Structure 1
Amino acid sequence: MEKISSRHRAAGVLALLGLVTQIVGFTSWAETTQLVSYLLWGAVALLWRDIPGRSRIQAGALMATGALMLLVARFVYDASIDWPRVLEGNVFVVAMLIGVSFISLIGRQGNQSVGGKRLTGSGGILRTWLGVHFLGTILNLSTIFMVGDRIARRAPLTTPQYLALNRGLSSAALWSPFFASMGLVIALAPEVRYLHIALVGFPIAMLSGAITTLELRRRFDLTEVDGFSLSPKSLLMPLGMAAGVMLFHFWLTPSLSIISIITFLLPGVAVIANLRNGPVFTLKRVRQHAFHRLPAMRGEFSLFLAAGLLTIGLSTLVSAAAGQEWTLFENFGIGQGLLSFVGIVASALLGLHPIIGISVLASMLDLAASDQTLFAFVALSAWSVGTSVGPLSGINLSLQGRYGVSSYQMMRDNLLYAGIMSLLSLGAIAGIGFIQP
């Protein structure tokens, strides 16, 4: 086994302690957000030199910009700033990501955990999309590697396979309660009605699969293109997890948000699943997870925390310069939602992760409870389209790093798809805006 440095071990322990401290904060025992922020930022500081160059530059720029905005607000506009708490932005989301990562401790490790069989042709492409989509609702970015590596056993991946992997995962952002995108929007818009989002987002996600299959069948000869198919048994875990979240949300802990429930439920289930092999075995797996898996998430941690600092800095500066009453839009309705979607997707094409556009937008809005579901769908749909086509999105950078495909080539290959999905999303935004109270 690869030797892990003491720095990585310390960072993994800090991240794990951040998760535990966050879970403690869900009780009435203590308010722990500030401590969680210090633990998670400490982990990022220890792992900073290991973050890939592009991600480090982007995260560093976000941090510097956020800090500069706070300084301008304080010394130019004489704003009152609670400095010990300026690092708290997006810690809920990062804690959720850590919690979700524990799903890899359930069942067997490795590619075998996805099960299924190979297929070819357009049916294989559709089943690849379905497999990545439904596993990705729980496993997030790791699904790309699990399914991609399995397909690549026979031959190097081809463009249709790359696109099926990309679109299958990015479309899950439209409705999955376990996705980082959902965690972010729930943190920004806590009054969002998740069921309304799912009722709109899930059908559009299914259309993504149909669009992908039809487009790739038209553009490529798929006769010898291998696909991947989930076995029915493999769907039990995603469905069971989703059912568990709904059980806690509506009956057992209705006062907690979905992001909070996911944060404690998934690691709890993972620990319980391993305890049948004894406490020593369970402790060993948790230790391996903390030392290996959590440090490997350094890019995600740094981006989300940096975007959180930017959001706090921007909102503080805007309030100080324009007054507490200023907002980008006086009301957030259909027109504002459409403009926001276009702006976030356009920024993704320029290389910014959608989290940045969403966070900046939220910092300049004063959303009423009735507007939050519309805002949430704008954010989720922009995330879905933006990560599929953005050359510097986590999905495309992961495909580039793992399999060598150019992320900019992926952007070009996804332009038509992104255009069609944008039209569907814009129509859905208009529909939600029309019916919301």
Structure 2
Amino acid sequence: MQETTFRQRLAGVLILLGLIAQVLGFTGLINTAHAVSYLLWLAVILLWKDIPKRSRFQAGVLMVLGILMLLVARFYYHDHVDWPAMLQGNAFVVAMLVGVSFISLVGKQQGRKKAPGKRLTGSGGVLRTWLGVHFLGTILNISTVIMVGDRLARTAPLTIPQYLALNRGLSSAALWSPFFASMGIVIALAPQMQYSYVALFGFPLAMISGLLTTLELGRRFDLREVYGFSLAPRSLLMPVIMALLVMVFHFWLTPRLSIVGIITFLIPAVALIYNLREGTGYTLWRVRQHTTTRLPAMRGEVSLFLAAGLFTLGLSALVAAVAGNDWTLFETFGAQQGMMSFLSIVLSALVGLHPIIGVSVLASIVSLHGGEHTLFAFVCLCSWAVGTSVGPLSGINLSLQGRYGINGYHMMKNNLFYATVMSLLSLASITAMSYLVT
């Protein structure tokens, strides 16, 4: 493992302090919103030159555009801009991502060599790879792709079917997982959404994704020599237990706190309690290692989410200044508007824009009421799931490209049929949900 520099370690500490400040803010005793955003942005500044060029370019463009729009809104249209709060966009989501990263401290013990599962070949192996990545990824997010990918790559370089199973297994989890950053975004943008409806439609759609992947890859490729990866049932207990804990806190212990907030403090707390069994010194060592190595490695995610938040704030301010606070893109948000929005976000992903950008832009120019919050949230999750699978510059495809050398546009080409079918199913689901919630 490459040794981190003092600058990177300091950035990791700042990210950790941002997480702690966010958790303190949940108590209601002190407003830490400014502190959280400033700490995270300082970390981005320290890590800026370490961010991959393409991600740095995207983040830089978003930042510049966001600041320019704020300046135009303030000095050309003479609208009010809350400058001290301009860096707060998506800071709470970044704090959640940082909190989720601590799940890697659960279950990893020094010297443990036992494999968490077994490998299979053929369509069964592809399906089990998809299932393993999907369900473990509901908690571990993008790190699952690398963990399982590295396991598969021990025997031979990864093949296209393996790449596609990794890609689709994780991206489809965005359809329903309460732990994904996508869910954190949509809950913030549509706070009145009803998660039960989202899960009712999103979970079956995700399972269809796994079935479609298995059937399509079995038809297109000879899978007899393609290894799959199957997680042991014991390994899948962790995401299930974490999901149950989140529900317990959400419905009984801390009902006034959002799911994003619960995840932000719950996962680090569970990680600390788990490691305290080995003693305080051991726990502090693991937290230190995580802070100085894993947190600085999140620079791409942190910078993109913060930059997108600044862009969204700037766009919202400019739209309000130009059109007034009462202007909205749609009079109502129903099935037709949802389908148009879905297609727009997915098409923008094809040209290299992360779905978070499309979702953020959409949120800044629509006005939601009642059940429209739930429909809007589902539209965003569907577009995120399909867009990240096919988008050449999505976080998943960039991770696969950086780790294993697969070309992002090659992944896009191989995912076009899958994205088309999932888009049609998503559009049908959006239409069906609109009749239930609006």
Instruction: Say whether the fold is shared (TM-score over 0.5).
Output: yes
Q: Residues 114 and 147 of structure 1 are in contact (CA less than 8 Å); yes or no, is this contact kept in structure 2?
A: no
**Equivalent position of 1:360 in the other structure:** 361
What is the aligned residue count? 437
Residue 277 (str. 1) matches residue 285 (str. 2) = no
Distance 1:6 1:229 in 2: 39
Distance 1:43 1:368 in 2: 37
Distance 2:384 2:399 in 1: 16
Secondary structure at the residue paired with 1:134? helix
Alignment of 1:266-345 (within 5 A): 266-345=267-346
Shift of 1:217: 0.5
**Equivalent position of 2:237 in the other structure:** 236
Distance 1:136 1:198 in 2: 16
**Equivalent position of 1:49 in the other structure:** 49
For 1:248, give the aligned amino acid: F
Secondary structure at the residue paired with 1:28? coil
Residue 23 (str. 1) matches residue 23 (str. 2) = yes
Distance 1:113 1:347 in 2: 43
**Equivalent position of 1:431 in the other structure:** 432
Distance 2:114 2:247 in 1: 25
Distance 2:117 2:103 in 1: 19
Shift of 1:211: 0.2
Shift of 1:15: 0.3
Distance 1:232 1:114 in 2: 13
Root mean square deviation of aligned Cα? 1.1
Distance 2:297 2:93 in 1: 17
Alignment of 1:38-437 (within 5 A): 38-108=38-108, 115-437=116-438
Runs of 4+, deviation exceeding 3 Å: 109-114
Secondary structure at the residue paired with 1:297? helix
Secondary structure at the residue paired with 2:360? helix
Cα deviation digits, residues 299-355 of structure 1 (max 9, x gap): 000000000001100000000110110011111111110000000000000000000
Shift of 1:369: 3.2
Distance 1:68 1:368 in 2: 30
TM-score by length of structure 1 reads 0.99
Secondary structure at the residue paired with 1:414? helix
**Equivalent position of 1:37 in the other structure:** 37
For 2:7, give the aligned amino acid: R
Distance 2:162 2:66 in 1: 39
**Counterparts in 2 of 1:145 and 1:224: CA distance versus 1, 3 Å:** same
Secondary structure at the residue paired with 1:405? coil
Cα deviation digits, residues 149-177 of structure 1 (max 9, x gap): 11111111101000000000000000000
Shift of 1:434: 1.2
**Counterparts in 2 of 1:112 and 1:134: CA distance versus 1, 3 Å:** farther
Q: Residues 92 and 187 of structure 1 are in contact (CA less than 8 Å); yes or no, is this contact kept in structure 2?
A: no
Distance 1:171 1:124 in 2: 18
**Counterparts in 2 of 1:113 and 1:331: CA distance versus 1, 3 Å:** farther
Q: Residues 192 and 372 of structure 1 are in contact (CA less than 8 Å); yes or no, is this contact kept in structure 2?
A: yes
Shift of 1:227: 0.5
Cα deviation digits, residues 345-373 of structure 1 (max 9, x gap): 00000000000000011011121132111
Shift of 1:195: 1.3
Secondary structure at the residue paired with 2:157? coil
Shift of 1:2: 3.6
Identity of aligned residues (%): 68
Q: Residues 12 and 294 of structure 1 are in contact (CA less than 8 Å); yes or no, is this contact kept in structure 2?
A: yes
Secondary structure at the residue paired with 2:307? helix
Distance 1:341 1:202 in 2: 18
Q: Residues 170 and 388 of structure 1 are in contact (CA less than 8 Å); yes or no, is this contact kept in structure 2?
A: yes
Secondary structure at the residue paired with 1:369? coil
Distance 2:412 2:320 in 1: 36
Secondary structure at the residue paired with 1:229? strand
Q: Residues 391 and 408 of structure 1 are in contact (CA less than 8 Å); yes or no, is this contact kept in structure 2?
A: yes
Secondary structure at the residue paired with 2:119? strand
**Counterparts in 2 of 1:95 and 1:114: CA distance versus 1, 3 Å:** farther
TM-score by length of structure 2 reads 0.98
Shift of 1:3: 2.5
Q: Residues 114 and 146 of structure 1 are in contact (CA less than 8 Å); yes or no, is this contact kept in structure 2?
A: no
**Counterparts in 2 of 1:109 and 1:48: CA distance versus 1, 3 Å:** farther
Distance 1:323 1:140 in 2: 39
Distance 2:133 2:125 in 1: 12
Secondary structure at the residue paired with 2:228? strand
Shift of 1:109: 5.6
Distance 1:2 1:278 in 2: 27
Distance 2:73 2:14 in 1: 31
Distance 1:400 1:18 in 2: 30
Distance 2:397 2:330 in 1: 32
